[in-house]
Amino acid sequence: MSTRAPEVRICKNQEAAVPLLLQEVRPLASPARRALLGLATGSTFTKFLQALAEELRAGHTLADNLVATHLDEYAGFAPDRVGGMVHELGTHCPPLLTMLARGTFVPVPYVGDAGLLRAHAERLQQLGGVQVQFLGIGRNGHLAFNEPGTAFDSGFHVTTLAETTREDARPRFLPAEPPAQAVTSGLATILAAKRLVLCAFGKAKAAAVRAMLQGEVSTKCPASVLQNHGNVLVLLDPEAASGLGGAASAS
């Protein structure tokens, strides 16, 4: 348990957060370090992923040395299946698909077999563990697909999605129904990363952001577990920050 509260920075909008996110990524990809980056999905990270794609196409150091993974996958969604998380990452950042083929992008298993999940967690350990983990937040305070009620000591597991999560995901699956289950990184897995960088943009996230930063630490708001970490940066736009009292620095 740490006493260092999350650092909160207010950015004008999602675009303004991109340079700060790229600054987090570049030091990981030095030839000497090749430290593991944990990516996140969701519309929150679209502009960052597009910028990362440009940087991977342009820069040899980053392209040669970046090693990455991500947080979660819909059950049954192989990397090439539309709607899946790896598919989404590859759509916004195609160089990740080259990395996938080369083994430097490590996908979350899309089948919740216990042996596969254990092997995936071990693979991340062999790569030194996640150094910087990017995170979004659900309207209900979820991190990855750790819905309210998930134990703080959870590792990779299969989860049943909350109704609000399925509602928010509905447009990407139309005319089909959104999936009911996913494979997700657990809260203990997420907290094991050396540094966490959470982004939230828009009014719909304001209540969850307030509960995360100023509510009690409780499984009712999974993201409140970030208060226990000690090396957390939270990037918000003014709307996502609108429920907060107190100081935050502007970028």
Residue 224 is classified by DSSP as G
User: Is 54 an active-site residue?
Assistant: no
Part of the chain binding ligand GLP (CB under 6 A), chosen from 34-42, 74-82, 110-118, 173-181: 34-42
Tell the burial category of 145 from Cβ atoms under 10 Å away from its Cβ (0-12, 13-18, 19+). Answer: buried
What are the start-end ranges of the H helices in 133-186?
163-173
Q: Which is nearer to ligand GLP, 41 or 104 (CB)?
A: 41
What are the start-end ranges of the H helices in the chain?
14-25, 46-58, 60-65, 85-92, 95-102, 114-126, 163-173, 187-191, 206-214
User: Is 142 an active-site residue?
Assistant: yes
The active-site residue out of 55, 73, 147, 168 is 147
Interaction between residue 77 and ligand GLP (CB under 6 A): no
Part of the chain binding ligand GLP (CB under 6 A), chosen from 27-35, 42-50, 73-81, 215-223: 42-50
The active-site residue out of 142, 157, 168, 229 is 142
- Integer Cα distance of 94 and 52 in angstroms: 10
Contacts of ligand GLP in 175-234 (CB under 6 A): none
Residues near 199 by beta carbon (within 8 Å), at least 6 away in sequence: 14, 17, 21, 40, 44, 45, 48, 134, 135, 136, 234, 235, 236
Part of the chain binding ligand GLP (CB under 6 A), chosen from 15-23, 38-46, 111-119, 207-215: 38-46
Interaction between residue 93 and ligand GLP (CB under 6 A): no
Which of 95, 145, 159, 227 is in the footprint of ligand GLP by CB under 6 A?
A: 145
User: Is 147 an active-site residue?
Assistant: yes
Which residues are catalytic, by number?
A: 72, 140, 142, 147
Which residues of this protein are in contact with ligand GLP, per CB under 6 A?
40-44, 71-72, 136-138, 144-145, 165
